[in-house]
Amino acid sequence: MIFSREIRYYYLRFIRLRGEPDELALGMAFGVFAGMMPIMPFQIVFAVALAILFKGSKITAALGTWSSNPLNWYFLYSYSYKIGAFILGLNKKDAVFSSIMTAVRSGEQPLIIVKTIIGSSTTLVSAFVLGGLVMGIVSAPPVYFLFLYIFKNIKIWRESRKARRP
């Protein structure tokens, strides 16, 4: 019962977000884009900076970064490296990459994982970042259009409720 109250609370907070649908959707797309980048503790800062720069919603940008969460960090890091390594023509089986994935799997602190990535070779860092960019570029446009549709419908629903009030 308490769980359903929390879900309802966050649902109400979501539909009460202020802003134009395109600003809100743009912020969400920037958040998902930043969420695909292998910069765990800095994703929100990066997403909000993009939202400020391109006039998107800062709140939805921060919300969108939760597309990468502790449940899927392993997959995001793994695929970002594999995609980047494929593009750069690197060996997909790397000892440092294996140690990074072991740290992610064991629940190591995100800052330690980022330090390990940065402390490795520039080609490994390049593979992670390039793969994250590709994943972000591929996932952000569909997220934008999906949330544009959702936020437009929420706006229409709000306006219809206002019109019905005496």
In contact, 81 and 106? CB cutoff 8 Å: no
Residue with tokens 């990066």: 46
Which amino acid would we find at residue 47?
A
pLDDT at 166 over 70: no
In percent, the amount of the chain with pLDDT more than 70 equals: 93
User: Do 130 and 84 touch, CB atoms closer than 8 A?
Assistant: yes
User: What does the alpha-carbon distance between residue 113 and residue 103 come to, in Å, rounded to a whole number?
Assistant: 7
Q: 31 and 63 in contact (C-beta within 8 Å)?
A: yes
Model confidence over 33-49: pLDDT tens digits? 999 988 877 899 999 99
Selected residue with higher pLDDT from 79 and 12: 79
Pair of tokens at residue 67: 């597309």
- Residue 153, classed as helix, strand or coil, is helix
| pLDDT tens, residue by residue, 41-75 | 789 999 999 999 999 999 899 988 988 877 787 88
Say what angle helices 110-119 and 122-164 make with each other, to 10 degrees: 140
Domain boundaries, the chain: 21-155
Q: pLDDT class for 81, splitting at 50, 70, 90?
A: confident
Query: What is the rounded average pLDDT for all residues in the chain?
Result: 85
Q: Is the pLDDT of residue 2 over 80?
A: no
Task: Give pTM, 2 decimals.
Answer: 0.82
CA–CA dist 59, 44 (Å, integer) = 10
Contact 47, 62 (CB under 8 A): yes
Distance CA 121, CA 105 (A): 21
